[in-house]
Amino acid sequence: MLLMNLLSAKNLSHSFEYELFSDVSLEVHPKESIAIVGMSGSGKSTLLHLLSTLLTPKKGDVFLFGENIKAMKKKRLAEIKRNDLGLVFQSHYLFKGFSALENLEVSQILSQGVIDKELLVKLDIEHCIHQKVTELSGGQQQRVSIARVLTKQPRLIFADEPTGNLDTKTASDVMELFFEYLDHNNAAMILVTHDETLAYMCDRVYKLENKELVQVK
Ligand SMILES: Nc1ncnc2c1ncn2[C@@H]1O[C@H](COP(=O)(O)OP(=O)(O)O)[C@@H](O)[C@H]1O
Ligand SMILES: [Mg+2]
């Protein structure tokens, strides 16, 4: 292998009541940003769950940093999840009873990450960092979960509509922040979005349609 893939998916298929998609393959290298678009219900979130180890593929394989997730010991998988994967999903999964800062500290402690003051300023959450997350707006909570993920310093970011609660300008600023992070950390991002403008900011764009993942950029 010339250049190690951060992620490689081979011939993935998935069905619930009916087949959602089949034979999906994808390679992801350091510094790359990849967007997945498609109609609601096309299976974007399910595919992201498969790629990020939240679901185990029944058909096909997912390799993270060269290792097949099916062959990994539980402990190794937990270690990779804790240290190397950053998940920003629609439901924020923030610890509700705690302040924004305490939520970031969890990442800092568990993954030996770094809370970057400048990042908080860029995300415009430095002024509300001591407030409980339940007191924050949807948009602020979303930015706290983005800060939390970046604090972890993951090698792979999986984001499902991470900017869904943000206005256009803030959303595109957040995208720039992600790109800067990927570049500085040799990391990669797979982003699911219905927003074509945000998708086309990424290096590659794929559309999930008619059970296939087709590259459109
Ligand atoms: N855990 C599940 N059990 C059964 N059906 C599911 C489950 N998760 C998703 N689905 C169905 O699979 C389809 C694709 O869902 P999803 O991956 O969330 O699509 P998207 O993110 O593109 O909107 C939908 O029809 C949804 O109802
Ligand atoms: Mg979805």
Domains of the chain: 1-84+156-217 (3.40.50.300), 95-153 (no CATH)
Strand pairing class (33-37; 204-209): parallel
| Of residues 86 and 107, more confidently modeled | 86
Percent of the chain with pLDDT over 90: 86
Instruction: Give the pLDDT confidence score for residue 92 in this predicted structure.
Output: 67
Mean of the per-residue pLDDT values for the chain?
A: 94
Closest atom of ligand 1 relative to the 208 alpha carbon: 22
Instruction: Give the pLDDT confidence score for residue 121 in this predicted structure.
Output: 96
Instruction: Give the pLDDT confidence score for residue 157 in this predicted structure.
Output: 98
Q: How many angstroms does the Cα of residue 22 sit away from the middle of ligand 2?
A: 18
Q: Which two tokens stand for residue 20?
A: 């959602």
Ligand 1 lined by 43 (C-beta under 6 Å) = yes
At 89, the pLDDT band (50, 70, 90 cuts) reads confident
Residue range 105-110: mean pLDDT, rounded:
89
Residue 105 burial (10 A CB sphere; 0-12, 13-18, 19+): middle
Number of Cβ within a 10 Å radius of residue 118: 8
Q: Relative to the alpha carbon of 20, which ligand is closest? A: 1
CA-to-CA distance for 187 and 36, rounded, in angstroms? Answer: 17
Residue owning the nearest CA to atom 13 of ligand 1:
41
Q: How many angstroms does the Cα of residue 63 sit away from the middle of ligand 2?
A: 22
Residue range 119-129: mean pLDDT, rounded:
96
Instruction: Give the pLDDT confidence score for residue 3 in this predicted structure.
Output: 59
Ligand 1 lined by 50 (C-beta under 6 Å) = no
> Can you give the pTM of this predicted structure?
0.94
Q: How many angstroms does the Cα of residue 40 sit away from the middle of ligand 1?
A: 9
At 2, the pLDDT band (50, 70, 90 cuts) reads very low
Letter string b/e over residues 53-63, b meaning 16 or more CB atoms within 10 A of that residue's CB = beeebeebebb
Instruction: Give the pLDDT confidence score for residue 1 in this predicted structure.
Output: 43
